[in-house]
Amino acid sequence: MALPRDQIEKGLAEELSTLSALVRTLSAEELATATRCDGWSVGDIAAHVAGTMADIVAGNFDGLGTPEVTRRQVQERRGRTAVELADELDEVNLASQELLSAFDDTAWEAAAPAGLAQTVGAGVESLWYDAFVHGDDILDALGRPSARSEAIRASVSHIAAILTQQGWEPAHLELDGIETFDVSGGGSRTITGDPLSFVLVGTGRADPATIGLDETVNIYR
C-alpha cells in the first residue's frame, strides 16, 4: 500500500527540486566522481534520474528500468554540464506535476502502464524513492551527509511493497520515527532500527548484517 496521493505528489516534486539544486552546484570534477553504483559517476546518476522522468512524461515506458534503457538515458546526456542536467530536472519536474494533475483518483488507483507497478500511485511513489536514493548516492560520493526527509518514508513503503511481491517473510517494519509498514501482511517478526539504514540495506547499498538481516532483504538481489 503506497502512501497517500497528496504526500506522494508533493514529495516527488520536492525531491526532484532538491536533486536539481544539488546537481546545479557541482563542478565538472564532482560530476565525474565515481559512486557506489558500479560504473556510474555522479553525472551518470543525475542523467539517469532526468532521463527516467523525461521518458515517463513523454510516454516512453517500454523497457523502463532495464539496463538497456538506463544506458541509453545516460548516453543521451553524456557531456552535459551540471546546469544543463539541473535545467532538465526542473523541466521534467514541472511536466510531471502537470501530467499528474490530470489524473483523477480512479486513474491514480489503476494499473500502471507496462507493468511498471501495481498502480499508478505506487509507480509515482517509486519515482520519489528513486530520486531520493540516487540523490543519496551523489551525497555519498561527494562525502556529504545523507538527507533525512519524508522521502525515507516513501522509500520504506516502496521496499516493503517490493519485498511483499517477492514473497519475503511476513514482518512488521517498526522503524524509528515513521509509521509501521508491513511486509507480506505482517507477522510475528518485527524489524526495528534506523529507517535510512534499512533503505540502504534494502537496496544493496549497505551490508544487511549491520542491522541483523541477510541478503534476501535486498530488493535487487
Q: Which of 117, 141, 165 is the last residue of a domain?
A: 141
Considering the entire predicted model, what is its pTM? 0.95
Q: Which of 109, 141, 173 is the last residue of a domain?
A: 141
Q: Are 108 and 18 contained in the same domain?
A: yes
Q: What's residue 1's pLDDT?
A: 74
- Asked if 93 and 87 count as a contact pair (C-beta separation under 8 A), the reply is no
Query: What CA–CA distance (Å, rounded) separates 67 from 16?
Result: 22
Total number of domains constituting the chain: 2
Q: What's residue 118's pLDDT?
A: 87
Please choose, from the candidates 92, 44, 50, 42, the residue with its C-alpha nearest in 3D space to the C-alpha of residue 71. Answer: 44
Write the pLDDT tens digit of every residue in 1-21: 789 999 999 999 999 999 999
Write the pLDDT tens digit of every residue in 184-195: 999 899 999 999
- Structural domain containing residue 20: 5-141
For the residues 105-119, what does the mean pLDDT come to? Answer: 88
Q: What's residue 114's pLDDT?
A: 75
Please choose, from the candidates 8, 14, 6, 23, the residue with its C-alpha nearest in 3D space to the C-alpha of residue 153. Answer: 8
Q: What's residue 49's pLDDT?
A: 98
**Cell numbers standing for residue 30:** 564532482
Q: What's residue 168's pLDDT?
A: 97
Write the pLDDT tens digit of every residue in 130-158: 999 999 999 999 999 999 999 999 999 99
Q: Are 37 and 76 contained in the same domain?
A: yes
Structural domain contains residue 146: no
For the residues 169-182, what does the mean pLDDT come to? Answer: 97
For the residues 70-95, what does the mean pLDDT come to? Answer: 97
Q: What's residue 117's pLDDT?
A: 78
